[in-house]
């Protein structure tokens, strides 16, 4: 069942757990994620970066694929089709026009006024279609889709302004997490996290959820995080399993090769669901 993110994130906020956002990269990944979330009765957010959408053939192809898989796999858990890091108002609108149920507008590289204006425009459009909106403040560093950026911690007052002036549904304040592999220990600012959660009273999003130890993930959830984005850790477990399979099998059938990572990926998805507390929360 495709839904927007409002209800599942608000429930997570009340129940003090988080909903996993797993990035999808192809049809097989989408199937593995949907099946494992269904098996664990967990709501799920399928994150689609602009790069991944382009790779798969465009927003229209992605949404047709997700809708059809949802039906043919007989998925009952709530599934959100979410644009991850939409870089322009135009792209966010395009995702909405192609039946995405949730979008992120990431105008965090602009000054705060521009970020607010761009976000507002997306929110106004999204509300007409019952689509939820996430926005970013400060700047999440690291590498994603081959693009690297420096981390800039969000200011509490900027997060509050972004929320109050745009009416977004959930907010991603950059508070020490980065995309990709961490160099050294992640240094999350839990105090600011709590302050932003209290002052905005909307669900908070943790990007760069891979590579953060379990205790810190739990502390983040206790500090107001309700959505945790995972991409790199699934890529690592999948590619390790595929590499091992190719080393020990003379495989050339692409279906067998891609599928070789299924078990490892599903195991990791289950771990994340248990860690985030979304087990049986569908």
Residues of the shown chain interacting with ligand 13P in the complex, contacts defined by CB under 6 A: 23, 47, 84, 179-180, 207-210, 229-233
The three state secondary structure string of 6-56 is: HHHHHHHHHHCCCEEEEECCCHHHHHHHHHHHHHCCCCEEEEEEHHHHHHH
Nearer to ligand 13P, 51 or 180 (CB): 180
Pairwise CA distance, residues 112 & 16, whole Å = 30
Nearer to ligand 13P, 124 or 213 (CB): 213
Pairwise CA distance, residues 63 & 100, whole Å = 7
- Which is catalytic among the residues 84, 106, 169, 189? 84
Pairwise CA distance, residues 193 & 155, whole Å = 10
The residue count for the chain? 282
Nearer to ligand 13P, 143 or 201 (CB): 143
Nearer to ligand 13P, 201 or 240 (CB): 240
Q: How far is the CB of 249 from ligand 13P (least distance, A)?
A: 28
Residue reference for tokens 């195991």: 267
Q: Residue 95 belongs to what H/E stretch? A: helix 89-97
User: Which three-class secondary structure state does DSSP give residue 32?
Assistant: helix
CA atoms within 13 A on the CB side of 271: 14
Indicate if 145 belongs to the active site. no
Where in the sequence numbering do the catalytic residues fall?
Answer: 84
């Amino acid at each position: 069942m495709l839904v927007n993110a409002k209800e599942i994130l608000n429930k997570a906020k009340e129940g003090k757990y988080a909903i996993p956002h797993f990035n999808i990269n192809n049809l097989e990944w989408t199937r593995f994620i949907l099946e494992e979330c269904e098996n664990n009765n967990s709501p799920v957010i399928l994150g689609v970066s602009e790069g991944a959408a382009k790779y798969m053939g465009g927003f229209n192809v992605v949404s047709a694929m997700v809708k059809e898989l949802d039906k043919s796999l007989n998925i009952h858990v709530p599934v959100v089709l979410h644009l991850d890091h939409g870089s322009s108002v135009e792209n966010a609108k395009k995702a909405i026009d192609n039946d995405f149920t949730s979008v992120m507008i990431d105008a965090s590289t602009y000054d705060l006024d521009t970020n607010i204006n761009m976000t507002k425009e997306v929110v106004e459009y999204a509300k007409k279609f019952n689509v939820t909106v996430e926005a970013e403040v400060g700047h999440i560093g690291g590498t994603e889709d081959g693009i690297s950026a420096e981390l800039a911690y969000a200011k509490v007052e900027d997060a509050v302004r972004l929320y109050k002036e745009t009416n977004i549904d959930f907010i991603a304040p950059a508070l020490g997490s980065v995309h990709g592999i961490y160099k050294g220990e992640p240094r999350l600012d839990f105090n600011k996290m709590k302050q932003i959660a209290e002052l905005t009273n909307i669900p908070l999003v943790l990007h760069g959820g891979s590579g953060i130890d379990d205790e810190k993930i739990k502390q983040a959830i206790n500090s107001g995080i309700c959505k945790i984005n995972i991409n790199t850790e699934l890529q690592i477990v999948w590619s390790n399993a595929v590499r091992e399979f190719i080393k020990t099998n003379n495989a050339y059938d692409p279906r067998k090769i891609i599928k070789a990572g299924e078990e490892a990926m599903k195991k990791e998805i289950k771990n994340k669901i248990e860690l985030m507390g979304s087990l049986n929360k569908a």
